Amino acid sequence: MSDQESIRSSDLAAADYKPEVSLESLPYKTITYSGAGDEYVIINNQKYLRHELMQAMAGTFNPGLAPYPKHQFGNASALGLWGTGFTAFCIGMYFANAMGVTTPNAGVGVALFYGGMIQFFSGVWELAGGNTFAGTAFTSYGAFWLAFGSVFVPAFGIGAAYGDDQVQFSRAIGLFLLGWAIFTFMLLLCTFKATLAFVIVVFTLDLTLWTLSCGYMLNKPGVVRAGGIIAVAHAFVVFYVAFDGTSTPQNSYFKLPQVPLPVYSRKAKS
């Protein structure tokens, strides 16, 4: 242990101590903390990351980690999730040709500002709060919506650059979406210590991106429409998780149930 690490020890559960129970009968006698920010917990000479001992919450968009440390500002992940869900709902409805709409340009503003800027800033706030997963996800997907929305802005000249070659344009969008599908799959692997709703959020997003990518690369409007339908389903799951992060005992009588996934320990056998 380095000189910079600070360690403090304390007797276990002093407030609950009963004289008739000997310390020798307890499974462990002391808890020690180490690390610059006391991020490690040492129990019976075995070191654990503090957050590994905490319960997952979907509303914090933080797999395997409860809201620690306690932030003095609001839950930025909730804001990012609302931006994600609302944008996915709008763009998904357009791609699904709901009400006969086939041109998604009316959703460009939502993609750029709510799905893009707001989600990006949410990710920056989460990085400042120590939530690496949420920070990485929200800044990345904020950039995704900014980039994707720009495709439909004539001033950027992206569509015009392909001229009349719409097949190449469609394939280019498909390859763009393919990269994001791969990125999302990697994030999906980081969610299995979270809640069921949390995993479904990332899984349905990944399925949306894979489907849209195939639809554009193969120039199959029906597959693109299927991707839009999946995007709408994804949006409703995001709404569920976003409400979990927004509702508190102070502002709501309703709290949506969450199903934590089991966490398997890799502790070596003695």
pLDDT digits (tens, 9 = 90+) for 70-79: 556 788 999 9
Cis peptide before 69 (omega within 30 of 0): yes
Q: Say whether pTM exceeds 0.85.
A: no
Between 73 and 69, residue with greater pLDDT: 73
What is the rounded distance in angstroms from the CA atom of residue 66 to the CA atom of residue 51? 7
- Taking alpha carbons only, the member of 3, 17, 7 closest to residue 47 is 7
Does residue 65 surpass a pLDDT of 70?
Answer: no
Tell the burial category of 51 from Cβ atoms under 10 Å away from its Cβ (0-12, 13-18, 19+): middle
Confidence of residue 3 (pLDDT cuts 50, 70, 90): very low
What are the tens digits of pLDDT across the range 217-263? 999 999 999 999 999 999 999 999 999 989 988 888 988 888 888 87
What is the rounded distance in angstroms from the CA atom of residue 55 to the CA atom of residue 264? 13
What is the rounded distance in angstroms from the CA atom of residue 191 to the CA atom of residue 189? 6
Q: Average pLDDT for residues 148-163, to the nearest whole number?
A: 92
Residue 71: predicted pLDDT: 52
What are the tens digits of pLDDT across the range 9-30? 444 333 344 444 444 554 555 6
The DSSP line for 76-145 is HHHHHHHHHHHHHHHHHHHHTTGGG---GGGGHHIIIIIIIIIHHHHHHHHHHTT-HHHHHHHHHHHHHH
How far from the centroid of its chain's Cα atoms is residue 244's Cα? 13
What is the rounded distance in angstroms from the CA atom of residue 81 to the CA atom of residue 242? 5
Residue 83: predicted pLDDT: 95
Residue 167: predicted pLDDT: 94
Q: Which of 28-42, 90-104, 105-119, 153-167 has the lowest mean pLDDT?
A: 28-42
Between 8 and 116, residue with greater pLDDT: 116
What are the tens digits of pLDDT across the range 193-213? 889 999 999 999 999 999 999
Residue 190: predicted pLDDT: 94
